[in-house]
């Protein structure tokens, strides 16, 4: 709650949410968007590392892209930025994308 020229402004309390992007099968050479461009104020993105070794995961936060592979565990912290995630199977057989959890706060 804050005051603006004698008026009381009541803001809703912050709320946290969690989104899970489940594993998906990708055929050799296929690519898929796991998370379209989405803006977060505050978020933590957890990559479980339970995907295929040949699944390349491009994580773009603002204007910076990080490269992970499906079998790698990672944590990405996001503050007031746009995030997108794209996975590509660079192997010769069908493999899975990793499970990804996004915990974020809205207010």
| DSSP secondary structure string for all residues of 4-56 | ETTEEE-PPPPEEEEEEE---EE-TT-EEEEEEEEEEEEEEEEE---S-TTEE
Q: Label each residue of 80-96 as H, E or C.
A: EEEEEEEEEECCCCCEE
The C-alpha atoms of residue 55 and residue 96 are separated, in whole angstroms, by: 7
> pLDDT higher for 46 or 13?
46
Which one of 3.30.1330, 1.10.8, 3.10.450, 2.60.120 gives the CATH number of domain 15-106?
2.60.120
Using 50, 70 and 90 to split pLDDT, how confident is the model at 5? low
Of 58, 67, 61, 29, nearest to 42 by C-alpha is: 61
Lookup result for tokens 């379209």: 36
Lookup result for tokens 């020229």: 5
Q: Domain residue spans in the chain?
A: 15-106
Q: What is the value of pTM for the model shown?
A: 0.86
pLDDT at residue number 88 = 98
């Amino acid at each position: 709650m804050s005051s603006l020229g004698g008026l009381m402004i009541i803001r809703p309390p912050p709320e946290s949410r969690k989104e899970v992007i489940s594993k998906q099968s990708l055929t050799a050479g296929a690519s898929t968007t796991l998370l379209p461009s989405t803006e977060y104020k505050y978020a933590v993105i957890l990559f479980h590392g339970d995907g295929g070794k040949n699944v390349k995961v491009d994580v773009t936060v603002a204007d910076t892209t990080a490269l992970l592979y499906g079998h790698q565990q990672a944590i990405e912290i996001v503050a007031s930025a746009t995030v997108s995630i794209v996975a590509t199977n660079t192997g010769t057989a069908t493999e899975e994308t990793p499970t990804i959890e996004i915990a974020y706060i809205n207010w």
